[in-house]
Homo-oligomer: A and B are copies of this chain.
Amino acid sequence: MLDRFKVPKEDEVKVSESALRKTVQEIFAKTGLSKEDSQNGAEVLVTADLRGVESHGVSNMLRIYVQLFEQGELNKTPNLTVIKETPGTATIDADRALGIMAGVPAMERAISKARNVGVGIVTMFNSGHMGAVGHFSMMAAQQDMVGMCSVAAGTGILPTFGAEPKLGTNPISIASPSNLEAPILFDAATSAVAGNKLRLAARVDATLLPGWVASSDGSPIMEETKIVNRDDYHQLPLGGSREQGSHKGYGFGLMVEILGSLLSGDDPGMLRDTPSWTPSRTYFAAYNVEAFTDVNLYKKNMDDMLSTLKNTPPAPGHERVLYPGLSESEEMAKRKETGIPLHKEVIEWFSSTTKRLGLEEMELL
C-alpha cells in the first residue's frame, strides 16, 4: 500500500496477532456465529492486518460486519447449498453468509475438485463482503496449487467514456506456491484504486492522485484531490483515462462480472436496484500443479523468476524492485514479531464493543 494510507505514527496503538485474533473471534461468536465461522472470519481479517493490508483488515471492515449481522442483513446461521455441480465445477448459494466465512468452504471445494480432475472452479452468489480475496487464492497455494479468486460486488466504477458507474471494484487475485522465495500473491481491484481505500484516505486525511476519480458528470479528475465527501466522486477503472488504458481496467472489471456474476447464474450489480446490502458474486479457481507438470520443476522456475524480479536493477529514484506479495510477506514477519498497529479510534471501537457484548477487553502491547 502507498504510504499515504498508513496509520500516522502518533495515532497508532499496537496489538499482538494472537490478542487480535482472540477478540475478533469472540466478537463474531458472541454475535451468534458458529465457532468455525468465527475462527475463519478472524483468520481472514487478522491475516489482512498482518500483511499490512489495512484497507481489508479489522479497521475498516469489522464494525460493518457486526452491524450487518445485528441488523439481520447477513445470516448468522447460513445454510450453504450447492445448486449445480460437475466433477470440475460447482455453483453455491451462500444464503446471505458473510463472504469471508463462506469463501473458506467454497475454495476448499475447488481444491478438492482440482485434486480429482486437475482443476476446480466454484462460483458463489448471495454472500456478503468477501474481504481480501487473495486470502482464498492463498489457501490453494498452500496445497501446491495455483489459486485464483475474484469478486463482483457493487456498482461504483465508471465504464470508460461513461457518466454513470456500472461496475464493482471487482478485484482479481492469484497466488502460487514457491519453495525458497516468499510466495507471490497478487490481489488488486480492477479500479484505479480500491473502494475501501477512499474511506481509509478520508480517515487518515490523505489526498487522491490524478486519474483515480471522476467528477459526477464522468470527467476524469487529472489533478491531486483532497477527498471530503466520498459520495461526490465516481471511481475510474484502472488506467484512469482511455489514453492511459482505462478500457483495459474496464475490461478486467467485466471479466470478473462474467466469471463471478454471470457464471453463478446471478445478474450483475448494474441490473439491480441497489439494496442497502448488495450481495457478492465470487469466482474461485484451483489449478493442481501436478496435473500440469512436475511440482519441483514448477517451484524451481517460480523461485528463479521471483529472485530475478527482486534482483532487477531499479530505475532512478527507486530502492528496489518488488513482486506482488513480497513486501506483504516482509511486513507479516515484522508484525508477527512487533505487533499490528491500529488507529486509536479503532481501539476505542474495540473497547466499547467488547464492553457492550460483555467480553474481555482486548489486550494491547
Q: Which residues of A contact B (CB under 8 A)?
A: 2, 84, 86-89, 91, 113-114, 116-121, 123, 146, 158-164, 166, 172, 174, 176, 184, 186, 188, 190, 192-193, 209-211, 214, 217-219, 238-240, 243-245, 247-252, 254-255, 257-259, 261-268, 270-271, 287-289, 291-294, 297-298, 301-302, 304-305, 308-309, 312-318, 320-324
Contact = CB atoms under 8 A, between A and B. Distances in A.
B259 A301 contact: no
A119 B89 contact: yes
A177 to B, nearest CB: 10
Given A176-B262, A251-B324, A265-B294, 4 more contacts: A86-B119, A184-B258, A239-B244, A268-B305
A298 B262 contact: yes
A287 B121 contact: yes
B293 A263 contact: yes
12 contacts: A2-B243, A84-B293, A86-B117, A160-B321, A166-B312, A176-B258, A186-B255, A211-B244, A219-B316, A263-B287, A265-B293, A270-B308
Contact of A192 (B118, B244, B254): B244
Copies in the complex: 2
A96 to B, nearest CB: 19
Nearest to A317: B219
Nearest to A214: B315
Given A159-B321, A315-B218, A188 B251 contact: yes
Given A162-B313, A174-B258, A239 B245 contact: yes
Nearest to A310: B159
Contacts of A268: 301, 305
B292 A264 contact: yes
A317 B289 CA distance: 48
A91 B287 CA distance: 13
B160 A322 contact: yes
A307 to B, nearest CB: 10
A23 to B, nearest CB: 33
A13 B7 CA distance: 61
The 10 A-B pairs of least Cβ separation, nearest first, read A218-B315, A265-B293, A86-B118, A89-B118, A186-B251, A88-B117, A161-B318, A87-B117, A88-B118, A88-B119
Given A87-B117, A209-B244, A217-B316, A323 B262 contact: no
A209 B265 contact: no
A161 B314 contact: yes
Contact of A88 (B88, B172, B239): B88
B159 A309 contact: yes
A48 to B, nearest CB: 17
A89 B119 CA distance: 7
A336 to B, nearest CB: 24
A292 B89 contact: yes
A255 B255 CA distance: 14
A265 B255 CA distance: 26
B259 A209 contact: no
Contacts of A116: 87
A315 B87 contact: no
Contacts of A119: 86, 88-89, 119, 121
